[in-house]
Each structure stands twice: as C-alpha cells, then as structure tokens.
Structure 1
Amino acid sequence: MAQVHASLPSSSLFIFPPSNEPQTLPPPPAGSTLSAPPISLPASWYNDALDVRVPITIAVVYAVTVSALNAYNRSRGNQPWAISKTRGFFWFVVAHNVFLAVYSGWTFVGMFNALQRSLVSPTGPTGLAGTVDSLCKLHGTSGLGNAIAYNTTLSGWISESPSSILLSDAGTPFATDLGRLWNEGLAFYGWFFYLSKFYEVLDTAIILAKGKRSSTLQTYHHAGAMMCMWAGIRFMSPPIWMFVFVNSGIHALMYTYYTLTAFAVPIPTSLKRSLTTMQIIQFLVGASYAALHSFVSYTIPVEVPVRIVPAASSTVSAVAASATAAGIGSLVKKFLFRAAGEEGLAGNVEATYSADQAAHQKPFHHGITGAQEFRTEYQTIPCIDTSGQTFAIWFNVLYLAPLTVLFMRFFVRSYLRRTSKTAGKGVVGTKHEAIEQAGKDAYKGIERRVDRTTEMNGKANGKVNGKH
C-alpha cells in the first residue's frame, strides 16, 4: 500500500552551484489543451528571461540605485520631489496600484484553477500518498505513479510507470500532458509572476519620490524576491506554487487597499488587521512548507518489466521487423504497435527504468500487458529529485530567515513593550495595532517605527489626493 514517510535528503542534492539540468520546460502552446494558457510563450523568450544574469543584474542595479537616491534625498533634507506633487504623479500611483491589484487577482484565479485540476484529495483512493505525489511531481499525467521525473544519474527524464507513460522524441515530458501543476498553470503564471517582481520595484520609486528613505530591509525584500522566484521557476521546484498562489492573493488585496487609501477611502481596522494576519501566515507557513519537501518520501506502484513473453504475436513481430528494416522513427513505431493492439510495447519504445531506483521495493502482483510481462512493485521515491530544486527551496528559506528574525524583534518591541507601557492608560486596540504593524514591517520592510508604517503603506503609495 502507498505510504508517506519522513526521510533525510540525499547529500548529493546539496551542491553549489546546483546542476543546470534539466532545462526549464515552457508552458503548453495556447489552444493545445483545454487548460492551455491564453497565449503562447516562445521557448527562447521563456528561457532567456530565466538566465541567471537577468535577475542578478536587475537586483544589483536596483540596490545601487536605491542607495544613491537615499543619499540624494538625505542631502535635500528628505523633501518630496516636485513631480510627486503633480496630478500626473497621483494618477500614475493609482494606475500602478490598480494594475498590480488586477494582475495579482488574475494570477490568483489562474493558479486556483490549476490547483483544482491537479491537486489530488487525500480522501481519494490513493490517500495521502496521492496528494503528496500531486504536489511533489510537477510533470507527467495525473495519477499515483504516473509522474515523469528527472534522473540526475542518467541525466534524463524517466517515467515512473514505463508501461504506460511516454516521453517525447526529445526525451522530455509532453507539453500536452494534463493533470500536473506545471502544465496546468504553474509554468505560465509562475513565469509572469517572476517578471512581476521586477515591476514591483516601482513601489520603492514612489517612496523615494515622496522624499522618504527606502529602508535596507525593503531593498533586501525586493532584490531577494527576484532571485527567489527565479530559482523556483528556473529549477521547477515543487513548493514554488505556494508563493505564486498565496502571494498573488495577498497582493491583490494589498494593492486594492493602496488604491483605496489613495482616494482617502477609510479602511476599517478589522480589515487591515485581517490582511496583516494573512501576510504573517504566508511568511511563516510558506518557509516551513518549502523546507518540508526535503524530508518527505513516499511509495508508488511501479510496473517493472520482467521479460518478453516468448509467444509474442506474429503480428507484433512483423510490425517490429518491418519498422526496424525501414528505419522508421520511434514515434511511428509507437503508432504501429498501438495499431497492432500492443499498447505495452508502444509504451516502452522510449521508456527507461533505472535499476538503482528499485531499492526497497516489495512485490505486489504479476500481470501481462500485451507481449511484455510486468510486475507491480512498490517503490519508495523522494519528493525532490534535483540539486536545482533543493537549491531553490533552501534559497527561499534562507531569504526568509532574516525577515523572521526582524519580525520577532519588532514583535517584542512593538507588541510586548508598547503594550506594557500603555497598560492602564485606557488605550484601546494597542495590542492589535502592534501586531498589525509588526506584520507589515516584516513583510514589506517599509519602516520600523509603528507610527510611520501606516503612512508608508498608504500615503507613500499615493495618498496625495485632496491636495490638488
């Protein structure tokens, strides 16, 4: 029976720099499947944007520019720039916030639909192992044991069920495979979400234009987010879906809030508190969820080829002989085998089975598929397959660690100490306000002082209405 296990990761997965294999697979072309993305992304564009030099260059330029403009603002006594007092600037800020709110909502809905199509319920016939499999393995078709994973030993993609799953002639998963997160939406929405991290630096530009200082933490937040999203999408790391899905949902609400504050619309404290709570949950749960992937393995049923039945049908023999003599390609051979009713042989034209992956297998039953005899065994496999996936996971965790430290320090200073100082003074809601401001500082890194954080989240993002 399929089970989920806690296990230690292989040391071979922890190498730096990580292996460049495999190359990132672009999303399905538009119209190729019922759940294909609305537009096609050329493979060259897709992979060129994921060149590591792109996020590194933009992050460095961003950090240097912010440092220089902070010094410039300080030399001017932190006076607002003239442009920040114009109506054009106000409408730019509004358009910026509306765009990010709408875009984030679009991404959230897209990822929600992708999860609906690919996430397996733990109450289903495959149990928790089926759920874990649907979250750990991003390629192939749906179903426990139907995934396609990259084997670093063989330097190629392999099918976990060689009797039924095919690879393309290029030796990669088909772009039209359905039922797994990558093709169902993560490849498409995740790539755009990665690019959106470059656009979000305009948040910092707005703050600087108001003559305010952009904190080191905010610079770290934006530059780090670029690199983390790059790593997750470039190496097709399983937990990156959570950051795309949850963060886009929170951003949709957050930028809607910024838009409303730009028009001086009063926001109930309870709503702001709820937004901050979601930010904190994302921050803490996201890192824990990502790290967990390195310590999970599970069992899957595998159809292991045993031997060719001697009494193979004459039809199949004739098909194979004629195909070989004519030099027909493997894809045509598959079709010929299928036409002869031998799906098992067709499925194994390009299937690869690695003997070193058969460790800890237990026999279950025997069966005959066409002319090929198979034995179903339960094989234990890790959730994470490559050093690139491991690198993306722990890069994200280590990026979030300083934010965790900051959050705890700010929580103590702004929540415990501030509450104790105001005890007995009739201050209402101090405890909740401290939590709200601590969460905002940990997530956005805008200001450390409680009495200025609200201003940075609202006014610095466009609260210039009423002055014109």
Structure 2
Amino acid sequence: MSPSVHFSMPSGSLFQFPPSNEPRVVAAPATESLLTPSFYIPADIYSAVLEVNVPITIAAIYAVAVTALNAYNRSRDNKPWRISKTKPFFAFVVLHNVFLAVYSAWTFVGMWNALQVSLSGHQTVAGTVDSLCKVHGPYGLGNAVTYNSSWTSYSADVQLTSAGTPSLLDSGRLWNEGLAFYGWFFYLSKFYEVLDTLIILAKGKRSSTLQTYHHAGAMMSMWCGIRFMSPPIWMFVFVNSGIHALMYTYYTLTAFSVPIPNRLKRSLTTMQIIQFLVGATYAALHSFISYTIPVRVEATKSTVQATTTAATAAVSSATAAATAANIVDMIKVYLLRSIGIDGAAGNVNVPLPSPEVSTGADGISYTTEYQSVPCIDTNGQTFAIWFNVLYLAPLTVLFVRFFIRSYSRRTSKHGAKAIQNGKANGSANGHANGHANGHANGKANGKH
C-alpha cells in the first residue's frame, strides 16, 4: 500500500463563526535572506499586530477617509491639490513606487526559495500535498505538527517545545522556511499600500469602488491568512508579490513619462484577474482534500493479521487484472492452500508483499499503517480560506468590469475614430480627384 490523495467532505466543526482563537499564531524564526543577513521579529510584536482590532480599525478609517476625500474632490470639480504639482510630491511618488517594486521582488524571491525547499524531493503526490497542507513541523510525509485541541504529531520522532508548540528550529515546511516571515511583512505592506489611494486623491481624482474595496479587503484577507496560519495563503503572498513587482515598476516608468505599450498594462490587469480566479479555486479545494500518511504503531497479532490480509487483497486485485498465466498461478495458490499444502503453494511464482513490520530500538515490533488525514485542521484555517474566496469573488467582477471599460471600449472608440478618419480622407480624396479630373477634361475639350 502507498500514500494516496482523495476528495472528502469537510467536517461541520470546521465551519464556525467567529472562529476559535486557538491556536495562537506561531512567530517566525530568525530568517537569513536577501537584504536581511539575520533578522528576528520579537514574538510579542509579531502577535500584537495580528490582533483582529488592528486590521478592522485601519480598514474602517481608510474607507471613511476615502469617502470623505472623494466628496471633497467632487466639490472642487476634481482639481489637483496644490501639493501634487510640487517636486517633493513627484519625488515621493517615484520613491514610493520604487520601494514597493523592490520590496515585492524581495518577497517573491524569498517565497520562491521557501517553496523550493518545501516542495522538492517528494516521491509521491501525497508527499507534495502534505507539504502544502501542513505548514508546521519537519520535512517528510507524516512528520507534520498539527493542531487538534493541542499541538501534536503522528510521528514519535517529532519534538515540540517546552510550551507544547511547534519548534522554530524545524526545517523543511513552509511556515518556518519563509511564509511566517515574508507573509507577516506582506500583511503589513497592505497598510502601507493605501498611499496609492492618497496619490490618486492628491491628483484631484476620485478613488473608485475597485480601489477602495481592493485595499480594505486585502488588509483583512492577509490578516486572517497569517493569523490562522492557513495553508493556501502562501499563494497570495507569492503570486501577488510577483505581480506587484511588475506593476510598481510600470508605475515608476510612467511617472517619468516613459512610453509603454498599452498591451503591457492590459497584460498586468489580465494577470491579476487570472490570479484571483486560480487563487480562489486553489484555496477552496483545501476544504475537500484528504490524504493518507504512514503511521507507525506497535505490532500485535491483530495488526499483523490485518496487514497480511490487506497485502493478500492487494495481490488478488492486481492479479485479477494481469495476464491469464498469472490468473492460473493465483488459482493454484488458493487450491493448494485450501487443502492445507502451504509449502507447495509457496512454490507458485506469485509475488506476495510482506507486511511492513520493523523492530524498534526498544525491541518492540512495529507495523506501518496508513491513516487518512484532512488537509485543513482548524476552523480558523477554514474561516481564512472562505473569507478570501468571498472577498475575491466581487473583486474579480470589479476587475473584469475595469478591464472592459479601460480596454474594450477604448479599442472600440479608436476603431470608430479610425473609420471616421477613413471616411473623411476618402471624401477629401474623392473631391480632390474629381476636381482634378474635371479640370483636365475641360482643358482637353477646350483644345478641340
């Protein structure tokens, strides 16, 4: 038997609102990465900014302020603020875009390295699924540390801290390899990104529903993903940081009036829409995925008998689908054993797998059983998943509407203008040609 992956319905206990505060978030280990030779985030600070009142308060203030400033700009006929025409403001805009482009690229590279460590080397699909579903604990199928009333592991070799929490020294899984570190800063970056809206307002424009909803919702989405250590949040940190690196580079170039093809901006918007669709689907799937892991248990007569029975059943199933010769051999085995001649039955060339029984250092025999585990363990993780799905649904609609308004209608207008210019040119050319031909004909007739 080998590990397998299958679909299953989630337990109703995983859907609870408000979600439980347990487990508490596990702080990030000291991280060495590009631009940060060695950096440690104090655990109390790490947890403090992930208190629920932080994103709710900032998102509410942001929404109220944008609504008030939109009304202010409307009352002034959308005239640019005086500060927006100064050199310091221009310098601020450039530095803001450069900073976010570099920061986003740094996050993307850091998450890329974390994914390489976590996903490489797995021999089975279940091993890869396990590394994506369980973000705590050491590397390896069955070695994860999960939460079910308390932190625990199916492997006796995995050690917890004295406080009963996952060790920050464990390596090979996403949380310690970079998600805790880069994800936490990415969550904080969502508060800084509201300066995008301030720049728009200072130029006398109004913040659209898309802009306001996007920034306020992103704060809450990243908060619940990191606070509840929800497995699929890695995709939003990784993919979104990559797109942002390109987007803020584009904004930096446009600030200097560098001519950029319109199709590039269209491509960036398309990438964002695809990101939302793929991300929401990927996140939702976590609630319906289960897989089997090897669990070592003390061998008893009953477990050995169960293992032997399972092995025999597996051979029977495989042989039934084999060639006719193998089927005949299998029949011989059963006939010989039915009359009690086990020795003769053993001479028949049918491969029978032996039970997976081993002896530990304590002299006790152990057998390996396969146990099914769900991808998601806590109602907090479930809450984070479906909050993101529900947030991304209207956001995708708003982006699609923006795409149609910005590009499809613009293309139609350009096409209509081109047709109008063509008609005007055709009319002018026809008039000129007619005039020239009439003049020439009249001159020729006059000679005759």
Q: TM-score range by the shorter chain?
A: 0.7 to 0.9
Q: Which of 231, 234, 238 is residue 231 of structure 2 equivalent to?
A: 238
Per-residue deviation at 1:411? 5.8
Q: Which of 349, 358, 362 is residue 367 of structure 1 equivalent to?
A: 358
**Aligned AA (1:92):** F
Secondary structure, in 3 states, of the residue corresponding to 1:238? Answer: coil
CA contact (8 A) 2:30 2:41 kept: yes
Q: Which residue of structure 2 lines up, in the alignment, with residue 257 of structure 1?
A: 250
Query: How does 1:31-50 map onto structure 2 within 5 Å?
Result: 38-50=38-50
Q: Which of 122, 137, 142 is residue 139 of structure 2 equivalent to?
A: 142
CA contact (8 A) 2:299 2:366 kept: yes
Distance 1:25 1:373 in 2: 36
Per-residue deviation at 1:167? 1.4
Secondary structure, in 3 states, of the residue corresponding to 1:116? Answer: helix
TM-aligned CA distance change 1:250 to 1:407, over 3 Å: closer
Q: Which of 199, 205, 212 is residue 212 of structure 1 equivalent to?
A: 205
Distance 1:190 1:65 in 2: 27
CA contact (8 A) 2:291 2:375 kept: yes
CA contact (8 A) 1:101 1:256 kept: yes
TM-aligned CA distance change 1:270 to 1:423, over 3 Å: closer
Q: Which residue of structure 1 lines up, in the alignment, with residue 368 of structure 2?
A: 376
**Aligned AA (2:147):** Y
Secondary structure, in 3 states, of the residue corresponding to 1:378? Answer: strand
Per-residue deviation at 1:268? 2.7
Distance 1:49 1:278 in 2: 30
Distance 2:224 2:37 in 1: 22
Distance 1:269 1:79 in 2: 26
TM-score when normalising by structure 1? 0.73
Per-residue deviation at 1:408? 4.8
CA contact (8 A) 1:139 1:149 kept: yes
Query: How does 1:27-66 map onto structure 2 within 5 Å?
Result: 27-30=28-31, 38-66=38-66
CA contact (8 A) 2:360 2:366 kept: yes
Distance 2:260 2:274 in 1: 21
Q: Which residue of structure 1 lines up, in the alignment, with residue 282 of structure 2?
A: 289
**Aligned AA (1:28):** P
Structure with more of its chain in helix, by fraction = 2
Distance 2:75 2:262 in 1: 36
Deviation string, structure 1 residues 398-430 (Cα, Å, up to 9, x no partner): 001112333455566677777778778768xxx
Q: Which residue of structure 1 lines up, in the alignment, with residue 434 of structure 2?
A: none
Query: How does 1:192-211 map onto structure 2 within 5 Å?
Result: 192-211=185-204
Per-residue deviation at 1:168? 1.6
Distance 2:374 2:37 in 1: 30
Secondary structure, in 3 states, of the residue corresponding to 1:38? Answer: strand
Distance 1:115 1:276 in 2: 25
Secondary structure, in 3 states, of the residue corresponding to 1:253? Answer: helix
Distance 1:141 1:37 in 2: 23
Distance 1:418 1:95 in 2: 31
Per-residue deviation at 1:374? 2.6
Query: How does 1:348-359 map onto structure 2 within 5 Å?
Result: none
Q: Which of 384, 388, 401 is residue 393 of structure 2 equivalent to?
A: 401
Distance 1:106 1:46 in 2: 20
Q: Which residue of structure 1 lines up, in the alignment, with residue 184 of structure 2?
A: 191
Distance 2:46 2:177 in 1: 17
Q: Which of 294, 301, 305 is residue 294 of structure 2 equivalent to?
A: 301
Deviation string, structure 1 residues 216-248 (Cα, Å, up to 9, x no partner): 221111010000000000000000000000100
**Aligned AA (1:158):** T
TM-aligned CA distance change 1:283 to 1:20, over 3 Å: same
Distance 2:411 2:69 in 1: 36
Deviation string, structure 1 residues 314-339 (Cα, Å, up to 9, x no partner): xxxxxxxxxxxxxxxxxxxxxxxxxx
CA contact (8 A) 1:161 1:303 kept: yes
CA contact (8 A) 2:292 2:370 kept: yes
Distance 1:207 1:425 in 2: 29
Per-residue deviation at 1:29? 2.7
Deviation string, structure 1 residues 243-301 (Cα, Å, up to 9, x no partner): 00010011011001000000011113343343233222211111111111111111110
Q: Which residue of structure 2 lines up, in the alignment, with residue 24 of structure 1?
A: 25
Per-residue deviation at 1:304? 2.1
Distance 1:421 1:67 in 2: 31
Secondary structure, in 3 states, of the residue corresponding to 1:297? Answer: strand
Deviation string, structure 1 residues 340-380 (Cα, Å, up to 9, x no partner): xxxxxxxxxxxxxxxxxxxxxxx952222121443210001
Q: Which residue of structure 2 lines up, in the alignment, with residue 132 of structure 1?
A: 129
**Aligned AA (1:400):** L
Per-residue deviation at 1:160? 1.8
Q: Which residue of structure 1 lines up, in the alignment, with residue 77 of structure 2?
A: 77
Percent same amino acid at aligned positions? 72
TM-aligned CA distance change 1:273 to 1:212, over 3 Å: closer
Gaps of 5+ in 2: 301-353, 420-448
TM-score when normalising by structure 2? 0.76
Q: Which of 148, 151, 156 is residue 150 of structure 2 equivalent to?
A: 156
Instruction: Report which stretch shifted further, 202-211 or 400-409.
Output: 400-409
Q: Which residue of structure 2 lines up, in the alignment, with residue 4 of structure 1?
A: 5
Secondary structure, in 3 states, of the residue corresponding to 1:166? Answer: coil
Distance 2:68 2:19 in 1: 33
How many residues were matched structurally?
363
TM-aligned CA distance change 1:37 to 1:56, over 3 Å: farther
Distance 1:72 1:415 in 2: 29
Distance 1:178 1:57 in 2: 35
Rg: which structure is higher?
Answer: 2
**Aligned AA (2:107):** T
Q: Which residue of structure 2 lines up, in the alignment, with residue 13 of structure 1?
A: 14
Per-residue deviation at 1:206? 0.3
Deviation string, structure 1 residues 134-180 (Cα, Å, up to 9, x no partner): 100001111111111111xxx10111212x21112211111010000
Q: Which of 166, 170, 179 is residue 172 of structure 2 equivalent to?
A: 179
Secondary structure, in 3 states, of the residue corresponding to 2:79? Answer: coil
Per-residue deviation at 1:65? 0.8
CA contact (8 A) 1:117 1:184 kept: yes
TM-aligned CA distance change 1:52 to 1:68, over 3 Å: same
Instruction: Report which stretch shifted further, 220-229 or 275-284.
Output: 275-284
**Aligned AA (1:189):** Y
TM-aligned CA distance change 1:196 to 1:418, over 3 Å: closer
TM-aligned CA distance change 1:79 to 1:426, over 3 Å: closer
**Aligned AA (1:49):** V
Q: Which residue of structure 1 lines up, in the alignment, with residue 319 of structure 2?
A: none
